[in-house]
Amino acid sequence: MKVSAIALAAALALAAAPAASAADMAEAEIVGTDGAVIGKATFEQTRGGVLVSVEAAGLPPGGHGIHLHAVGACTPDFKAAKGHINPGKVKHGLRHPEGPDNGDLPNLYVAADGSARAEFFTTRVSVAGADMPALLDGDGSAVIIHENPDDHITQPIGGAGGRIGCGVIAKM
Protein backbone atom coordinates (compact mmCIF):
# COMPACT_ATOMS: atom_id res chain seq x y z
CA MET A 1 0.00 0.00 0.00
CA LYS A 2 2.84 2.40 0.85
CA VAL A 3 4.59 1.61 -2.41
CA SER A 4 1.46 2.32 -4.45
CA ALA A 5 0.91 5.58 -2.58
CA ILE A 6 4.43 6.73 -3.44
CA ALA A 7 4.03 5.62 -7.07
CA LEU A 8 0.77 7.51 -7.21
CA ALA A 9 2.31 10.66 -5.76
CA ALA A 10 5.03 10.51 -8.41
CA ALA A 11 2.48 9.96 -11.17
CA LEU A 12 0.34 12.85 -9.95
CA ALA A 13 3.39 15.14 -9.80
CA LEU A 14 4.14 14.31 -13.43
CA ALA A 15 0.53 14.81 -14.45
CA ALA A 16 0.49 18.22 -12.75
CA ALA A 17 3.51 19.47 -14.70
CA PRO A 18 1.81 20.97 -17.80
CA ALA A 19 0.07 24.22 -16.89
CA ALA A 20 -3.67 23.74 -16.51
CA SER A 21 -5.48 25.73 -19.14
CA ALA A 22 -8.61 27.74 -19.52
CA ALA A 23 -12.17 27.81 -18.33
CA ASP A 24 -13.80 24.48 -18.90
CA MET A 25 -11.57 22.10 -16.98
CA ALA A 26 -12.54 20.11 -13.95
CA GLU A 27 -10.85 17.58 -11.71
CA ALA A 28 -11.68 15.03 -9.07
CA GLU A 29 -9.54 13.58 -6.31
CA ILE A 30 -10.66 9.95 -6.05
CA VAL A 31 -10.81 8.35 -2.62
CA GLY A 32 -11.25 4.72 -1.62
CA THR A 33 -13.82 3.40 0.83
CA ASP A 34 -11.45 4.21 3.74
CA GLY A 35 -11.27 7.84 2.61
CA ALA A 36 -7.62 7.65 1.47
CA VAL A 37 -6.76 9.24 -1.87
CA ILE A 38 -6.28 6.58 -4.55
CA GLY A 39 -6.23 8.64 -7.70
CA LYS A 40 -7.26 11.58 -9.76
CA ALA A 41 -9.42 12.33 -12.79
CA THR A 42 -9.44 15.37 -15.03
CA PHE A 43 -12.19 16.53 -17.38
CA GLU A 44 -11.34 18.75 -20.32
CA GLN A 45 -14.01 20.30 -22.51
CA THR A 46 -13.12 19.97 -26.16
CA ARG A 47 -15.08 21.01 -29.21
CA GLY A 48 -16.70 17.60 -29.56
CA GLY A 49 -17.05 16.39 -25.99
CA VAL A 50 -15.19 15.84 -22.75
CA LEU A 51 -11.77 14.19 -22.58
CA VAL A 52 -11.48 12.30 -19.29
CA SER A 53 -8.08 11.24 -17.90
CA VAL A 54 -7.87 8.88 -14.95
CA GLU A 55 -4.91 7.77 -12.86
CA ALA A 56 -5.27 5.55 -9.84
CA ALA A 57 -3.35 3.12 -7.64
CA GLY A 58 -4.16 0.58 -4.98
CA LEU A 59 -7.16 -0.88 -6.83
CA PRO A 60 -7.97 -4.58 -7.36
CA PRO A 61 -6.54 -5.71 -10.74
CA GLY A 62 -8.96 -6.22 -13.62
CA GLY A 63 -11.89 -4.38 -15.11
CA HIS A 64 -13.98 -1.90 -13.18
CA GLY A 65 -17.07 0.04 -14.16
CA ILE A 66 -16.41 3.77 -14.01
CA HIS A 67 -19.27 6.23 -14.37
CA LEU A 68 -20.27 9.84 -13.98
CA HIS A 69 -22.82 10.08 -11.18
CA ALA A 70 -25.42 12.80 -10.70
CA VAL A 71 -24.41 14.44 -7.40
CA GLY A 72 -21.03 15.81 -6.32
CA ALA A 73 -20.86 14.02 -2.97
CA CYS A 74 -18.88 11.05 -1.62
CA THR A 75 -19.93 11.33 2.04
CA PRO A 76 -21.31 9.95 4.31
CA ASP A 77 -20.79 7.12 1.83
CA PHE A 78 -20.45 6.83 -1.93
CA LYS A 79 -24.21 6.35 -2.36
CA ALA A 80 -24.40 10.12 -1.79
CA ALA A 81 -23.33 10.46 -5.44
CA LYS A 82 -26.76 8.99 -6.37
CA GLY A 83 -27.30 7.32 -9.77
CA HIS A 84 -25.81 8.17 -13.13
CA ILE A 85 -26.18 11.53 -14.83
CA ASN A 86 -29.27 10.60 -16.84
CA PRO A 87 -31.82 13.42 -17.18
CA GLY A 88 -33.54 11.62 -20.07
CA LYS A 89 -33.98 8.46 -17.95
CA VAL A 90 -32.67 6.24 -20.73
CA LYS A 91 -31.31 2.73 -20.18
CA HIS A 92 -27.80 2.15 -18.88
CA GLY A 93 -25.19 0.64 -21.13
CA LEU A 94 -22.96 1.42 -24.08
CA ARG A 95 -24.33 -1.77 -25.67
CA HIS A 96 -27.97 -1.11 -24.80
CA PRO A 97 -30.28 -0.26 -27.75
CA GLU A 98 -32.08 2.26 -25.51
CA GLY A 99 -28.87 3.63 -24.03
CA PRO A 100 -26.38 4.77 -23.14
CA ASP A 101 -27.06 7.15 -20.29
CA ASN A 102 -25.02 10.33 -19.90
CA GLY A 103 -22.86 8.87 -17.13
CA ASP A 104 -21.78 5.75 -19.01
CA LEU A 105 -18.11 5.21 -19.84
CA PRO A 106 -16.00 2.24 -20.98
CA ASN A 107 -14.39 0.17 -18.22
CA LEU A 108 -11.25 1.14 -16.33
CA TYR A 109 -8.64 -1.66 -16.43
CA VAL A 110 -6.31 -1.97 -13.47
CA ALA A 111 -2.89 -3.61 -13.89
CA ALA A 112 -1.53 -6.42 -11.68
CA ASP A 113 0.24 -3.84 -9.49
CA GLY A 114 -3.07 -2.10 -8.73
CA SER A 115 -2.39 0.93 -10.89
CA ALA A 116 -4.52 2.25 -13.72
CA ARG A 117 -4.15 4.97 -16.26
CA ALA A 118 -6.75 5.66 -18.92
CA GLU A 119 -8.29 8.25 -21.16
CA PHE A 120 -11.96 8.25 -22.10
CA PHE A 121 -13.94 10.52 -24.37
CA THR A 122 -17.63 11.20 -23.94
CA THR A 123 -19.98 13.29 -26.05
CA ARG A 124 -22.85 12.88 -23.57
CA VAL A 125 -21.80 15.43 -20.93
CA SER A 126 -20.17 18.84 -20.88
CA VAL A 127 -17.88 20.31 -18.24
CA ALA A 128 -19.75 23.54 -17.60
CA GLY A 129 -22.84 23.41 -19.76
CA ALA A 130 -23.63 23.48 -23.42
CA ASP A 131 -25.84 21.10 -25.32
CA MET A 132 -25.15 18.28 -22.89
CA PRO A 133 -25.67 18.01 -19.11
CA ALA A 134 -22.95 19.83 -17.18
CA LEU A 135 -20.66 18.05 -14.74
CA LEU A 136 -20.42 21.35 -12.84
CA ASP A 137 -24.18 21.81 -12.47
CA GLY A 138 -25.97 23.01 -9.31
CA ASP A 139 -25.50 19.82 -7.30
CA GLY A 140 -22.21 18.88 -8.98
CA SER A 141 -21.24 15.42 -10.18
CA ALA A 142 -18.99 12.59 -9.07
CA VAL A 143 -16.86 9.97 -10.74
CA ILE A 144 -17.43 6.50 -9.27
CA ILE A 145 -15.27 3.39 -9.67
CA HIS A 146 -17.14 0.10 -9.12
CA GLU A 147 -15.86 -3.21 -7.82
CA ASN A 148 -16.66 -5.24 -10.96
CA PRO A 149 -16.59 -4.68 -14.72
CA ASP A 150 -19.60 -3.08 -16.40
CA ASP A 151 -21.06 -5.42 -19.03
CA HIS A 152 -22.60 -2.32 -20.68
CA ILE A 153 -26.10 -3.78 -20.96
CA THR A 154 -27.47 -5.22 -17.67
CA GLN A 155 -29.76 -2.88 -15.73
CA PRO A 156 -29.25 -0.78 -13.73
CA ILE A 157 -25.42 -0.59 -13.78
CA GLY A 158 -24.11 -3.42 -15.89
CA GLY A 159 -23.42 -5.72 -12.94
CA ALA A 160 -20.64 -3.40 -11.78
CA GLY A 161 -21.48 -3.95 -8.11
CA GLY A 162 -20.41 -1.85 -5.15
CA ARG A 163 -18.64 1.49 -5.20
CA ILE A 164 -14.91 1.31 -4.35
CA GLY A 165 -13.78 4.77 -5.47
CA CYS A 166 -15.43 8.18 -5.49
CA GLY A 167 -14.32 11.65 -6.50
CA VAL A 168 -16.25 14.92 -6.36
CA ILE A 169 -15.78 16.77 -9.67
CA ALA A 170 -14.68 20.35 -9.07
CA LYS A 171 -13.75 23.30 -11.27
CA MET A 172 -10.01 23.59 -11.98
67 binds Cu ion (CB under 5 A): yes
Q: Which of 60, 51, 40, 77 is nearest to 167 (CA)?
A: 40
Instruction: Give the residue at shortest CB distance from Cu ion.
Output: 67
Least distance to Cu ion, CB of residue 23, Å: 27
Beta carbon nearer to Cu ion, 40 or 69? 69
For residues 50 and 121, give the distance between their C-alpha atoms in angstroms, rounded to a whole number: 6
Q: What is the 3 state secondary structure string of 29-93?
A: EEEECCCCEEEEEEEEECCCCEEEEEEECCCCCEEECEEEECCCCCCCCHHHHCCECCCCCCCCC
Least distance to Cu ion, CB of residue 157, Å: 5
Stretch near Cu ion under the rule CB under 5 A, chosen from 41-49, 55-63, 85-93, 138-146: 138-146
Least distance to Cu ion, CB of residue 128, Å: 22
Beta carbon nearer to Cu ion, 67 or 124? 67
Q: Which residues bind Cu ion (CB under 5 A)?
A: 67, 144
